[in-house]
Homo-oligomer: A and B are copies of this chain.
């Protein structure tokens, strides 16, 4: 039956306010951002203290002072509360900024190195903690790899666009291989508790990729 809002006002819709617009820093927006951060922080804290599986969404919500329904209004799943997901646009921009005559693997390698450099300087320790949590938790690992697949597609498309061509199998393989190198490096980094440093591992991993043909 869905007693859906029956479009009471026949006018062309008040076009309420928020369209694609950038900045209405109303009170509501602030509270939303704060609630979101609060949920995320409490979740991470509880996960690290008591483990991911044994921590329930209800507990997280209670700790953040909201109902469990509110949790799901902010995060589609329990897993999503751990993700970042803000890196992709940056990486795309970096790829597009590379010289056109560069080989695709070098392009990806340098873009990743630059992008990581930024995160690394600011958040190294947090990144390590989060990565370790994810690697220890099957559900989170699955989710991370799922996101990685999206990134891979994005990389392939960006590479293809830069070369004015369609996405070919070869493009996809390059993107997939680069991300495989990246995840291998990150995994090794987290397993070694942060040594050697990630940028070095990334260099090593991409070197290995580059010499596959020999």
Contact between A173 and B169 (Cβ–Cβ < 8 Å)?
no
Chain A contact residues, majority secondary structure: helix
Taking the closest CB of chain B, its distance from the CB of A136, in whole angstroms, is 14
Q: Which of A103, A170, A180 has the most CB of B within 10 A?
A: A180
Interface set, chain A 173-214, CB cutoff 8 A to B: 173-174, 176-177, 179-181, 183-185, 187-188, 201, 204-205, 208-214
Interface membership of A42, Cβ < 8 A: no
Residue of B nearest to A145 (CB): B145
Q: Bound state CA distance, A142 and B205, in angstroms?
A: 24
Q: Per-residue 0/1 for A64-88: is the Cβ within 8 Å of any B Cβ (1 yes, 0 no)?
A: 0000000000000000000000000
Residue of B nearest to A201 (CB): B169
Contact between B209 and A188 (Cβ–Cβ < 8 Å)?
no
Residues of chain A at interface, number, CB under 8 A: 34
Q: Which of A145, A177, A210 has the most CB of B within 10 A?
A: A177
Q: Bound state CA distance, A171 and B173, in angstroms?
A: 18
* A188 neighbours in B (Cβ, 8 Å): 169, 172
Residue of B nearest to A207 (CB): B170
Interface membership of A160, Cβ < 8 A: no
* A181 neighbours in B (Cβ, 8 Å): 173, 176-177
* A143 neighbours in B (Cβ, 8 Å): 142
Contact between A173 and B142 (Cβ–Cβ < 8 Å)?
no
* A172 neighbours in B (Cβ, 8 Å): 184, 187-188
Interface membership of A46, Cβ < 8 A: no
- Could you list 21 A-B pairs, sorted by A, with CB under 8 Å? A105-B213, A141-B146, A142-B142, A142-B143, A145-B145, A145-B146, A169-B188, A169-B201, A170-B204, A172-B188, A173-B180, A173-B181, A173-B184, A173-B208, A173-B209, A177-B212, A179-B180, A209-B212, A210-B213, A212-B213, A213-B214
